[in-house]
Chain A
Amino acid sequence: MDSVPSTGRLTGAQREELIEQVKQQVAIATAQELLTKISEKCFKKCITKPSSSLDSSEQKCIAMCMDRYMDSWNLVSKAYSSRIQKESMR
């Protein structure tokens, strides 16, 4: 970020940059958390008997699992949004 002007106020461009940085950090944190979750969940569902490598059926399962987890994520997002809207109209 550019140095803050001596008056201590952020310029419009600096404010915009700040907002973008916050958005980015939130996005990165969300993505990391999601990846951790997905790995954990799909390990549980797909690797029932750990062996010396990931065989192709395990790999297929993991790929499907990740896709389904994201499908579920989108569905949950919609359901939660609807619920919030419903509650806010009470």
Chain B
Amino acid sequence: MFGFGGKSTPEPAPEPAYSVDLGSESSFSHSTSSSNFMESSSSASEDAELQRHLMREQQRAQFQEQINKFNDICWETCIDKPSSRLDSKTETCIVNCVNRFIDLNLFCAQKFAQMIQQNGGF
């Protein structure tokens, strides 16, 4: 569900496509990958490349989705009152929160699979 499993083939790590630049105008800037389209005569390879690009965009969207979910939960867990910056205790909490939440999800998935097996389904 997070795109990785202990024994499956490693998946490429999707690079964060969006970095947030708060700056003075609080703009939400992102970096785009350079697309390099060759006008090749082979339409099959163009289709494949298009597929790859679209899949990459889908992966990016899913990655963003996960970040939103984690931030939602970890913000509630780690931040009591907003202050002028994130102190190191809060930062540690947030990083731990992300990792423990992932661990929890893996743990629950495993246990749940056992539960279903033992009960022979619902």
Contacts and interface: CB of A to CB of B under 8 A. Distances in A.
Interface of A: 9-10, 12, 15-16, 18-19, 22-23, 26-27, 29-31, 33-34, 37, 41-42, 45-46, 61, 64-81, 83-85, 87-90
A48 B53 CA distance: 46
A18 B75 contact: no
A22 B54 contact: yes
B18 to A, nearest CB: 7
B56 to A, nearest CB: 9
Contacts of A31: 28
A84 B50 contact: no
Contacts, number: 131
B82 A45 contact: yes
A18 B57 CA distance: 11
| Range class of the B interface residue count | 35 or more
A80 B70 contact: yes
A81 B79 CA distance: 22
B10 A15 contact: no
B44 to A, nearest CB: 11
Given A68-B85, A69-B82, 9 more contacts: A27-B18, A29-B61, A68-B79, A72-B78, A74-B19, A80-B63, A80-B67, A88-B13, A90-B10
A42 B68 contact: no
Contacts of B2: 84, 87
B25 interface: no
Contacts of A64: 82-84
Nearest to A35: B28
A79 B95 contact: yes
Contacts of A16: 35, 37
Contacts of B35: 16, 19
Contacts of A29: 61
Nearest to B39: A12
B11 A88 contact: yes
